[in-house]
Amino acid sequence: METQGKIVGDYEQSLKAKNMAVVETLRLVIAAFKNKEIEKRGKTGTGELTEEEVIEVVTREVKKRREAIELYEKGGRADLAEKELAELKIIEIYLPPQMGEEEIKDVVKKKVDELGNPPASDFGKVMGVVMKDLKGKADAQLVTNILKGLLK
């Protein structure tokens, strides 16, 4: 739980330093952790999050911000898009290093070859297998684009 602990520690430091932009953003991430813990407690009886689950929550928060930025820009709300972008930059710090496009291509090509070059109609199945290896390490949209190009 090193990532979750780091986020909570940074939240407390930012609170003391009165850095409200960071405080508000990390408060939302910590709330997402609490929600995931409650959800997990209902299923398994224990609410402790694994490092993988913590990264999953952080990744989901990053995705929310990216989608919000896109929608605000389409709606002509540059002020709100800037706020979301600032939150995105704060949250992205806690993601593990992301793989480059070439690294992703290599992993995707290897998986496609292992699966015997399936047809494009099996995109969903192949994507599931590929994302098991790349979860938290690569942008899902980039993986999708690369996979679509390979399965044609």
Same domain as 113, residue 83: no
Same domain as 84, residue 113: no
Cβ neighbours for 64, distance < 8 A, ≥ 6 positions apart: none
Same domain as 70, residue 40: yes
CATH (domain of 145): 1.10.10.410
CATH (domain of 68): 1.10.1510.10
Q: How many CB atoms lie within 10 A of CB 57?
A: 22
Q: Please answer whether residues 147 and 126 qualify as being in contact, where contact means their C-beta atoms are separated by less than 8 angstroms.
A: yes
The tally of CA atoms less than 13 A away on the side-chain side of residue 87 is 24
| pLDDT values of the chain reduced to their tens digit, one per residue, 152 residues | 589 999 999 999 999 999 999 999 999 999 999 999 999 888 877 778 888 889 889 989 999 999 999 999 999 999 999 999 999 999 999 988 888 888 888 888 888 888 888 887 888 888 888 888 887 778 788 888 888 887 77
Q: What is d(CA 95, CA 91) in angstroms, rounded to the nearest whole number?
A: 7
Same domain as 73, residue 10: yes
Same domain as 127, residue 68: no
Same domain as 113, residue 54: no
Q: What is the pLDDT of residue 1?
A: 53
Same domain as 79, residue 28: yes
Write out the residue range of the structural domain in which residue 54 sits: 2-92
Same domain as 120, residue 145: yes
Q: What is d(CA 1, CA 4) in angstroms, rounded to the nearest whole number?
A: 5
Same domain as 126, residue 74: no
Q: What is the pLDDT of residue 120?
A: 78
Packing angle, helices 51-74 and 2-16, rounded to 10: 60
Backbone torsions φ then ψ of 100, nearest 5 degrees: -80, 165
Same domain as 82, residue 147: no
Same domain as 80, residue 47: yes
Q: How many domains, in total, are found in the chain?
A: 2
